Structure 1
Amino acid sequence: MRRKGPNRPISKICRAGSPVAGWAGPLQFDDTTYFVQEATDELKKSELALYLYVPDLDAAYQRALNAGAISIAEPAEQYHGDSLAILADKWGNQWYLAYATVTLDDDQVRERRQAEEAKDN
């Protein structure tokens, strides 16, 4: 069973010129556009983590590696029902790329988490 919800593709990533120092431009995710910019003396660096659902996790992971991202965790199914990969960009931001593989209720998530913790011990 597939989870309904945010499995929407990143439709376009583009760079735009900017009158400010450093790189700046729009990042479009489906119908939402985010504006991103490198830190400057006036705009201090702020690391963040983004959790994005993608339609093809393996392809998105490979595109990110090809673009220079550093792998923190390769794509793998998680106890909560998402397949997940974690990458870092050169600015220290973490990108969690996910694909919802199953729909689980709270009890199922709890059971799967406990089973995973038992394997680790």
Structure 2
Amino acid sequence: MGSLSFCITGNCCTNAKETVSMGCQINILTKFHKDWMKTVTSIVYTSDSINILTKFHQDWMQNINILTKFHKDWMKTINILTKFHKDWMKTINILTKFHKDWMKTVTSTVYTNKLLTDAGHHTSHKLTMSLCDR
């Protein structure tokens, strides 16, 4: 094996031929790697520019989700209004039909007015009423 040397926080270790020290160095190297990852991770998360961009990205994604949810709810509202509009149009058709039938009924209604005469005879007058638009 070749000579392996590294320096961690001011303590220099050199690879010896003893297996105990080699195992110690691997443990130190692993611990250094874990500590280095914690240090790098904390540096990334404490950086102002990275936090702002990460927070912006997270907020932006939440805004997109909110807008998408709003869009879905808005489409449900449109569907409800469309259904209401269809039902409303059926009601208008029924009212129009009723109005036409009512006009026919009123225009064809004959009112009979029975009047008593002085002689006690009954006379009748038939009046036909119709509605006209002005």
Please classify the TM superposition score into its range, dividing by the shorter chain length.
Answer: under 0.3
Q: State the TM-score, normalizing by the size of structure 2.
A: 0.19
Larger Rg: 2
More helix by share: 2
Q: Higher RCO, 1 or 2 (CA under 8 Å, sep at least 6)?
A: 1
